[in-house]
Amino acid sequence: MVGLDTQNGSAVQRRLMETAPRRSWRTHLIGRPLPTADAPHQTVGKAIGLAIFASDALSSTAYATQEILVVLAIAGTMAFRYAFPLSIAIVVLLIMVTLSYEQTVHAYSNGGGAYIVARDNLGELAARTAGAALLTDYVLTVAVSVSSGVAQIVSAFPMLFRFRVHISAVLVLFVMMMNLRGVKESGKIFALPTYFFVVAMYSTVIIAFIRYLAGNLGVVTNPPPLDVAATAQIAPFLLLHAFSNGTAALTGVEAISNGIPAFKEPKSRNAGITLVWMSAILGSLFLGISFLAVHIGAIPSERETVISQIARTAFGGVGFFYLASIAATTVILVMATNTSFADFPRLSALMAIDGFLPRQLAYRGSRLVYSRGIVALALIACLLIIAFDASVTGLIPLYAIGVFLSFTLSQAGMARRWWKSGHLQPGVSSKEAGSTLRHDHRWFVKMMINSTGSLLTAVVVVVFGITKFAEGAWVVLILIPLLALLLRGIHKHYLSLARSLNLDEFGEPPPIPRHRVILLINQVHRGTLAALRYAQNLSFDVTAVHVSMNRAESENLRGAWPLWGKGTRLLILESPHQAFLEPVLRYIDEISNQRQPNEIITVVVPQLIPEKWISSLLHMPTAMLLRLMFLTKKNIVITDIPYQINGAAG
Amino acid sequence: MVGLDTQNGSAVQRRLMETAPRRSWRTHLIGRPLPTADAPHQTVGKAIGLAIFASDALSSTAYATQEILVVLAIAGTMAFRYAFPLSIAIVVLLIMVTLSYEQTVHAYSNGGGAYIVARDNLGELAARTAGAALLTDYVLTVAVSVSSGVAQIVSAFPMLFRFRVHISAVLVLFVMMMNLRGVKESGKIFALPTYFFVVAMYSTVIIAFIRYLAGNLGVVTNPPPLDVAATAQIAPFLLLHAFSNGTAALTGVEAISNGIPAFKEPKSRNAGITLVWMSAILGSLFLGISFLAVHIGAIPSERETVISQIARTAFGGVGFFYLASIAATTVILVMATNTSFADFPRLSALMAIDGFLPRQLAYRGSRLVYSRGIVALALIACLLIIAFDASVTGLIPLYAIGVFLSFTLSQAGMARRWWKSGHLQPGVSSKEAGSTLRHDHRWFVKMMINSTGSLLTAVVVVVFGITKFAEGAWVVLILIPLLALLLRGIHKHYLSLARSLNLDEFGEPPPIPRHRVILLINQVHRGTLAALRYAQNLSFDVTAVHVSMNRAESENLRGAWPLWGKGTRLLILESPHQAFLEPVLRYIDEISNQRQPNEIITVVVPQLIPEKWISSLLHMPTAMLLRLMFLTKKNIVITDIPYQINGAAG
C-alpha cells in the first residue's frame, strides 16, 4: 500500500496558500511576511533593464577618477596629466570585457554569472575560486559604494565629516532592512534615480565641456589641500598602480549577465544591447570626468570628492544644480549596494545548493528573502567601513581584485566552451550542466575574443596583486584562497555525509526490539499527566523517574502515584546533594549500557510553557540540557511534551 | 498493577554510585566532578569552628577603624580623638548583637540565618526583605573584603597601586574557581590563616601598647597625605556618619548562626560559646586598633591602610614582622569572601526551594556546588570592584545596610518567637515551620534582649540611611525593595503555576483519539529510515512530508519512496521560492486546525549529528526552530531523532 499522496498534497498546498501568513517576533522589526515579495520578476524592457542593472557599474564613475589621481599625487600634481591616458586604457579594457560578456549573455540565457560559467566549463576549483572572489567583492562593493556616497554628502556638508563612519553604517543597515523587508529588485522605482544620475552627470560634464571650449571654465576655486606629499618620481610602477585603482570603474559590469532572465524576450538580445548601452554610458562619463578633473586642477581628497569639485566648477558655485548632481551621485552609490544585496545571498544560495556553503543559506526566510545572507553581508560591510574609517582610498587596494579574478575565470570558461562547441558535430547538441551546447560556426572568433578578455583581465589581476600588495591587497590575496579552501572543506563534509548515509549495501534498518520510555517527573500535576498519557501512547514500557530533591515532595509523589500513575513503574532516585541532572544522566547511562542492540530509549520530559516569555527563565530547560548530553549517543531520543500554562487556575 | 519500584530503585541507585562520573567540557576548566565535595561536614569543635566561621567577622577589623577616620578627617585631624569613643559605642552594639544571636543559636539548632528566622516568625514580607538584604550584602562583602585585602598589599608594595582593580578581580575569580571546584568549607585548612591573623594582630596591638606605655611608641613616620581637605565642623551628623562607617566591624557576626549544624554536639552550646569568643576577639582587636590609630596619628588613605601604619610603627619599620602581619591581614580578608561564596548560593537555594528565586538555583552542578550562584556572585562583585575602582571607602556607604536590616528582622523574629513561646502552655509544644517551639519560662527576658537588639540595629539602619544616603546608600535603599518585589513576583508565578496545574477538580486527562505523526524528510538516507522506523513505532498514522526545494531531489525521493517508505503516505509540499520552514509551518497549522479535540500531532525530524561539533553549523537545526514556533500550541510535540554520522562511508 504505497501512498504517493501528492495529488491530495497539491490540494492541501492550494488551501495553505490561502491561509494567513504566520506572525512572529520578526514581524515587528521587518514587517509581515510578504508571500510574493520575491516572486519571479515581471520581465522588463531595455530602458528599465538598464536602470535596474547599471547602477552598480555607473556609480563607479563617482570614485574611479579620484582614485587614479590619489596615486598620481604621490609624484606631485604634475603627474595628473597621466590620468586621462590611463582612463583611455581603462576604457579599452572596458570594451574588451563588454565584448566578452556580450557573448556570455547570449550563451547563458538563464543567467551566466562567473560562478556558473566557471563551474560548468572549468570544474570545481575554478568554481570555488570564482565564488570566493565574488563573495569577497560583493562585500567590498557595499563598503566602497556607501563610503563614496557618504564622501559626496560630506563634500557638500563638510560639518558632517566626523560623522562619516556613523552615516555610512546607518546607510548600510538601512539598505539591509529594506532588503529584509523584501525589496522588489525589478520595478520602475529603480529607473528614476539611475536616469536622474545619468542626466545629472551628462549635464555636468557637457556644461563643463562647453565652458571649457568657450575658454571660461577656469580651475576649481578653493580646492581641498592634498592629503599626501609628493615623495616619488613618475615611474612605470606608479602608473600601473594608478591604472589598477582606476579599473574600479569596471566593477558592476557583470551585473547584467546575472540578470538575463529578467529581460523581455528575446532575453539574450535585449540583455546584450543593454550591456552595450551601459558600457557606452559608463565609458563616456568616465572619460569625461577624467578629462575635466585634470583640466580644472581637481585635487583628490577625503574632504571633497573630485565629482564635487567638477560640479562646483561647472555650475560656478554651490547652487541648486550642484546640489542636484551631488544628490544624484549619492543616491546611485547607495543604490549600487542593492545589487550586492541581491547577488550576494543569491550566489550564496546557489553555492549552498551545490554543497559549497552551509545548506541553510539555500533557504529563504519568512519574507522570502535570503535573510541570513543579507544580514551577513551588511555586518561584514559595516565592520570594513569601521575598520577603514569609511575611506574609499583606504578600501580601494582591497577592491576589484575579486571582480577581475571572476572576469578572468568567467571568460576562460567561455573560451573553453567555444573550444568544445567548435569540436561538436554540426547538428549534434550536448547537454552540459546548465545550458545546451551546440556547434557554433563562429566558435574560433568567439573563443579568441573571450581568450583575449580573459588574458587581459588576468594581467590586470597580476598588476593589482603587485602594485596594491603592500597597501592591503595582500589581505584579499590571502583571503580568497582561504575562502576557496573553506568551500572545499564544506563540500567534502557534504560528500562524505552523503556517502555515509547512502543506502547502497544497506538493507532495512533492523526492527526495534524494545522501546523503553523514561518519564521524568517532579510532582504529579496536569503537565505530568499529559506527559504520562503521551508516554503510554509511545510504548507499554514506561518508567516514571523522579529525582528526590526534597523529602516531602517525594513522599507526596509516592503517595499520589498509585492514584494517578495508571500502573506505571515509579523509580525514585535519591539525590542527597541537590544535584538534579546527574542522577538522571547516570540512570540513563546505566540502562542504556544494558540494553539490546537497536533498543530505543525515549526520555519524555514534561516542559511547562509559561504564557509570558520572561517566565520561562524560572523553569529548567531540562529537555534541552538532556538533548545536549545525549546528542552523540545512539538510539536515545529526548522528547519534551510542552504543557501550556494558561495564567490562573482554570 | 501499581508498581512502586523503589526497592529496585535503590539497587540501581547503588550501582549508579559506583559508575564513573560523566565527563563534560567543564571538566577541563574546573576539574572532574567531585561526588563527595560538598558532603555533610565532619562536625568540628569550638577551636576549628571559630577558625571557619570567624574569618568574615574578624577581617572587618582591617577596615572598620580606617573608615571611621575617613569621615572624621572631613572635620580635620583634630576630630580623630572621637574615633575611640565611637569604637566603644560600636563594641556596645556588638555586645547586644552577640547576646541576641546567642539566643538564636540555641533556638535554631539546624541553622538560623536571618531569612529562616524572619520566614518562620514574621511571614513572607519580612522573609523576602531579609533575603534581599542578605543577598545584596553578600555581594558587597566580597567586593569590600577583596578591595581591603588588595589595599593591604598595596600598602606594602605601593608600585602595585595602579593594578589594584586587576588584582582584586583576579582574586575574586580565583576564589570563584576554588568554590566551583568544590572547596570543603570545613577542614583544618581554615584554621591556620585565621589563627595566624589573630596571633599577628594581637602581637601588633600588644607590642604597640607596651611601647605606648613605655612612652617610646611615637607617631607614624612618613604618613600618607590626607585624601580629603578639612571642610566641615565637628557636628552630631558627622559623628553619626563616622559611627555608621565603623559598624562595618559587625559584619560577619551572623555567620555562626548559619553554621550551627557543623558543630559537635551539643551543637547549640558549642556554637554559642564560639560566638561569644569570636565577639570578644573582634571587640578587643577593634578597640585596640582604634586606640592605637589615634595615638600614633595614623592617616586614613587609599595609599596606605591604617593597619599598615600601625604595624609599621609597632615594629619600627618595614621588616619581617611588618610583612607577616600585612600578609595575615590580606589572607584573612580574601578568605572572608569564602563565607559569602558558601552562604550566597546556599541562601539562594533555600529561597529557590521556597519559590522566591528560580528553581534552577536549588540544584547543584556537577561538582555538587551551586555553580550558578557562585558564578553570579563573583561576576556582580567584580563589576562592583571595577565600578568603585577597588576603593573600600567608595564601597562602604553601600555596605552593612543589608546586614543590619537582616539583624533587625532576625531579632524581631526571635522576639516574636519568645512572645509566642511565653503564651504556650508549659509542656505543650508547637511545631512551627523549621523548629519546635516550647514554653520557655525565661521568655520575657529573652524577648527583651532580642527586642532591644532589634531596636538598636533598626536605629542603626535609619542612621545609615540618613548619614550615608547621598554617598551611595540610596542605591541600596532602592535596590533592596526592588529585589524584594522581584522575589514577590517570582513567588506569585510559582503559586499561580501550582494552582493552574493542581489536580483538584481535574479528572484523568481525556484519551488520545488520534496520534498523527508527521515525518519531515529531505532525502531518503539512513537517517531518514531510522526516523521512519521510530515514527512508525509511535503511531500507525504517519505522513512523510517533503518540502521540494529542488526538482531533481524531489523526483529522486518520489521514485525511491515506494521502495523504502514502508507504505507511508508521502506528501510533497511545493516551495517555489526556496522557503523551507514556512510550508511546513502552514501545513502543520492547517492540519492542527482541523483535528479533533485532544488529537496529538508529533512532528518527527531526523537530525544528523556530525562527529565534529563545528560541522553542525552546516546543518539546519530544524527541530529546534519548529519547537520554538509551536511552543505555545497545544498538543503538538516536536521530536528530533538524532542520527550520528560516523565519518566516512561504513
- Residue B28: is its pLDDT beyond 50? no
Mean pLDDT, rounded, for A407-423: 89
Residue B203: all three cell numbers together:
602581637
Mean pLDDT, rounded, for A418-434: 73
Give CA angle at A271 (A265, A273), nearest 5°: 110
Residues, chain B, total? 650
- Residue B370: is its pLDDT beyond 50? yes
Q: Pick the residue of B618, B630, B634, B636 with the most A CBs within 10 A to test the interface with A by mutation.
A: B618
Q: What is the CA radius of gyration of chain B?
A: 32
pLDDT confidence of residue A366: 55
Q: How far apart are CA B168 and CA A614, in angstroms?
A: 34
Report chain B's mean pLDDT, rounded to a whole number: 82
pLDDT confidence of residue B170: 92
Cβ–Cβ gap A16/B618 under 8 Å? no
- Residue A526: is its pLDDT beyond 60? yes
- Residue A451: is its pLDDT beyond 60? yes
Cβ–Cβ gap A618/B590 under 8 Å? no
Of A360, A502, A641, the CB nearest to B637: A641
Name which residue leads in pLDDT, A121 or B179. Answer: A121
Mean pLDDT, rounded, for B45-52: 83
- Residue B35: is its pLDDT beyond 50? no
Cβ contacts of A170 within 8 Å, gap of 6 or more: none
Contact A452, A415 (CB under 8 A): no
Q: How far apart are CA A275 and CA A259, in angstroms?
A: 11
pLDDT confidence of residue B619: 75
CA-wise closest residue to A195 among A48, A90, A66: A48
CB-facing half-sphere around the CA of B365: CA atoms within 13 A: 21
To the nearest whole Å, the CA of B348 is away from the closest chain A CA by 13
Q: What are phi and psi of A572, to 5 degrees?
A: -105, 120
To the nearest whole Å, the CA of A123 is away from the closest chain B CA by 21
pLDDT confidence of residue A69: 92
Q: What are phi and psi of B509, to 5 degrees?
A: -65, 145
- What band does B183 get if pLDDT is binned at 50, 70 and 90? low
Of B4, B636, B646, the CB nearest to A558: B4
Name which residue leads in pLDDT, A612 or B200. Answer: B200
Tell me which of A492-501, B534-543, B618-627 is least confident.
B618-627
Which chain A residues touch B512 with a CB distance below 8 Å?
533-534, 537
- What band does A1 get if pLDDT is binned at 50, 70 and 90? very low
- Which ipTM did the prediction report? 0.70
CA-wise closest residue to B68 among B96, B89, B94: B89
One-letter amino acid of A505: E
pLDDT confidence of residue B204: 93
Residues, chain A, total? 650
- What band does A38 get if pLDDT is binned at 50, 70 and 90? very low
Name which residue leads in pLDDT, A550 or B173. Answer: B173
pLDDT confidence of residue A206: 93
Q: Specify the residue for cell string 595614623.
A: B298
In the DSSP assignment, the letter for residue B44 is B
Mean pLDDT, rounded, for B317-342: 88
The partner residues of A127 in beta bridges, in order of sequence, read none
Q: In chain A, which residue's Cα lies nearest the Cα of B567?
A: A2
DSSP secondary structure string for all residues of B90-122: HHHHHHHHHHHHHHHHHH-TT---HHHHHHHHH
Residue B419: all three cell numbers together:
512572645
To the nearest whole Å, the CA of A495 is away from the closest chain B CA by 9
Cβ contacts of A642 within 8 Å, gap of 6 or more: A607, A609, B630, B631, B636, B637
- What band does A216 get if pLDDT is binned at 50, 70 and 90? confident
Which chain B residues touch A573 with a CB distance below 8 Å?
9, 12-13, 16
Which chain A residues touch B644 with a CB distance below 8 Å?
632-634
> Mean pLDDT highest for which of A519-523, B181-185, B188-192, B628-632?
A519-523
- Residues B104-150: tens digit of each pLDDT: 888 887 777 889 889 888 889 999 999 999 999 899 999 999 999 99
Q: How far apart are CA B405 and CA B423, in angstroms?
A: 27
Q: How far apart are CA B283 and CA B625, in angstroms?
A: 62
Q: How far apart are CA B98 and CA B332, in angstroms?
A: 21
- What band does A650 get if pLDDT is binned at 50, 70 and 90? very low
Give CA angle at A463 (A236, A105), nearest 5°: 130
pLDDT confidence of residue A632: 74
Name which residue leads in pLDDT, A615 or B255. Answer: B255
- Residue B42: is its pLDDT beyond 70? no
Number of H helices, E strands in chain B: 23, 7
- What band does B191 get if pLDDT is binned at 50, 70 and 90? confident
SS3 call for B520: strand
- Residue B26: is its pLDDT beyond 60? no
- Tell me which H or E stretch contains B137: helix B124-156
SS3 call for A517: strand
Q: How far apart are CA B631 and CA B140, in angstroms?
A: 40
Name which residue leads in pLDDT, A338 or B27. Answer: A338
Number of other CB atoms surrounding residue A261 within 10 Å: 13
To the nearest whole Å, the CA of A185 is away from the closest chain B CA by 15
- Residues A567-584: tens digit of each pLDDT: 888 888 887 667 777 888
Q: What are phi and psi of B476, to 5 degrees?
A: -70, -35
One-letter amino acid of B552: A
To the nearest whole Å, the CA of B53 is away from the closest chain A CA by 22
Cβ–Cβ gap A363/B620 under 8 Å? yes
pLDDT confidence of residue A42: 61
- What band does A641 get if pLDDT is binned at 50, 70 and 90? confident
- What band does B87 get if pLDDT is binned at 50, 70 and 90? very high
pTM listed for this prediction: 0.69
Q: How far apart are CA B53 and CA B46, in angstroms?
A: 10
Contact B50, B274 (CB under 8 A): yes
CA-wise closest residue to B119 among B406, B453, B531: B406
Tell me which of A437-441, B23-27, B387-391, B535-539 is least confident.
B23-27
- Residue B390: is its pLDDT beyond 50? yes
Buried residues in B608-641 as b, exposed as e (16+ CB within 10 A) = bbbeeeebeebbbebbebbbebbbeebbbbbbbb
Give CA angle at B457 (B451, B458), nearest 5°: 85
Q: In chain A, which residue's Cα lies nearest the Cα of B611?
A: A632
To the nearest whole Å, the CA of B357 is away from the closest chain A CA by 8
Q: How far apart are CA A342 and CA A3, in angstroms?
A: 40
Q: Specify the residue for cell string 586642477.
A: A297
Give CA angle at A469 (A464, A472), nearest 5°: 110
Mean pLDDT, rounded, for A435-461: 85
Number of H helices, E strands in chain A: 23, 7
Q: What are phi and psi of A600, to 5 degrees?
A: -115, 140
Contact A603, A638 (CB under 8 A): yes
> Mean pLDDT highest for which of A14-18, A290-294, B34-38?
A290-294
pLDDT confidence of residue B366: 55
Name which residue leads in pLDDT, B109 or B305. Answer: B305
Q: What whole-number percentage of chain B has pLDDT above 90?
A: 26
Cβ–Cβ gap A642/B648 under 8 Å? no
Q: Pick the residue of B27, B508, B515, B534 with the most A CBs within 10 A to test the interface with A by mutation.
A: B534
Q: How far apart are CA B303 and CA B308, in angstroms?
A: 10
Cβ–Cβ gap A579/B10 under 8 Å? no
Residue A380: all three cell numbers together:
561584514
Q: CA dist B419 to B129, B130, B405, B411, Å?
A: 22, 21, 21, 12
Helix axes A236-246, A83-107, angle to 10 degrees: 50
B505 sits in the region (left: phi over 0; alpha: psi -120 to 50; else beta) called left
Tell me which of A206-220, A237-251, A382-396, A624-638 is least confident.
A624-638
Q: Pick the residue of B361, B364, B575, B612 with the most A CBs within 10 A to test the interface with A by mutation.
A: B364
Mean pLDDT, rounded, for B496-521: 79
Q: How far apart are CA B463 and CA A56, in angstroms?
A: 71
